[in-house]
Amino acid sequence: MIKKPRIGWLGAGVMGASMAMHLVRAGYDLFIFSRTREKAKALESAGAIWKDSPAEVSKSSDVVFSILGFPEDVKSVLLGEKGVIKGIKSSSIVVDMTTSSPELAVRIESLMKSKNVLSIDAPVSGGDIGARNASLAVMCGGAKEGYDQILPILGVLGSDVEWFGSAGAGQRTKMSNQILIASTMIGTVESLLYAERANLDLQKVITLLGNGAASSWSLSQLGPRMVKEDWEPGFFIKHFIKDIGIALEDASRMGLQLKGLELAGQFYNEAKAMNFEEKGTQALFQVLRALNKS
């Protein structure tokens, strides 16, 4: 029997905790660190082993995964004084699943290469539902050799896994995803607010439109949350604002103007101004309601 690699896991937030639990249940030895230990309690109870820093996690692991909030968190956890790079062993693999900057992914690869460590950027799409159901889409960039080695692990976390090229390619694929979702969410909330103002049954509208040309993940998965007035995060508005900024900055480097994304960004920033940044993206429905009070 081929021995399973020992896995390090950094981040136990809305998505990370569910993803790590799949690996524990699949029989992997898991070493974990999170800034808030309380969030890792269920994982510890299931058999994950707590470590006191990212460096300590990396010392015990063959493959180290991170899924964090912002690029600044990635820099600190992977490259900081007590970061992964301080403890990582030669021939290990680092996999950052945070939605982050393509430039940072290239920098991480370069620094890890100096330690004889392979680096993969592997952001995901599917939100908390995809994380719980292990049905995430996983978009990978970086060393193909490393991708091939970790593919069985990624298969525990997601149903659609693909390699797109060199370091940063995974992040750029995720930016393509976020550009599409940003505008789709605005169409979703405008459609449902119109239906609400017309006194239509919103759940019937969602079900019917979801079976036609207007079908989308945002409508089918987040529409029912809007109907239930459930604004809790499957994906934080503050994180989407971060992603829009990354996409616009990278597009500018390519000489692209993304006018639709710029307009969408204004709407997401309205949500921040109304103190919805800690809520899920479905709370954009509340923002549009507030902007259209009669």
Per residue in 195-250, pLDDT (tens digit) is 999 999 999 999 999 999 999 999 999 999 999 999 999 899 999 999 999 999 99
Work out the average pLDDT over 181-202.
96
What is the model's pTM? 0.93
Residue 125 pLDDT greater than 60, yes or no: yes
Per residue in 156-180, pLDDT (tens digit) is 999 999 999 999 999 999 999 999 9
Other C-beta atoms lying within 10 Å of the C-beta of residue 208? 11
Q: Which residues are catalytic?
A: 174
Question: What domains can be seen in the chain, in order of their start residue?
Answer: 7-166 (3.40.50.720), 172-291 (1.10.1040.10)
Angle between helices 259-273 and 169-197 (to 10 degrees): 70
What average pLDDT is seen over the chain?
96
- For the chain, how long is the longest CA-to-CA vector? 67
Distance in Å from the first CA to the final CA of the chain: 67
Q: How confident is the model at residue 3 (pLDDT cuts 50, 70, 90)?
A: confident
Q: How confident is the model at residue 294 (pLDDT cuts 50, 70, 90)?
A: low
Alpha helix (H) residue ranges in the chain: 16-25, 41-46, 54-59, 71-79, 102-113, 127-133, 144-157, 169-197, 202-209, 217, 223-227, 237-253, 259-273, 284-291
Residue 2 pLDDT greater than 60, yes or no: no
**Kindly report the CA angle at 215 between 222 and 269, in degrees rounded to 5?**
45
Helix (H) or strand (E) holding 33: strand 30-33
Question: What does 142-154 look like in DSSP terms, one character per residue?
Answer: E-HHHHHHHHHHH
Residue 64 pLDDT greater than 70, yes or no: yes
Q: Are 143 and 118 in contact (CB under 8 A)?
A: yes
Work out the average pLDDT over 127-149.
96
Residue 1 pLDDT greater than 60, yes or no: no
In whole angstroms, give the CA distance from residue 55 to residue 77: 8
Residue 101 pLDDT greater than 70, yes or no: yes
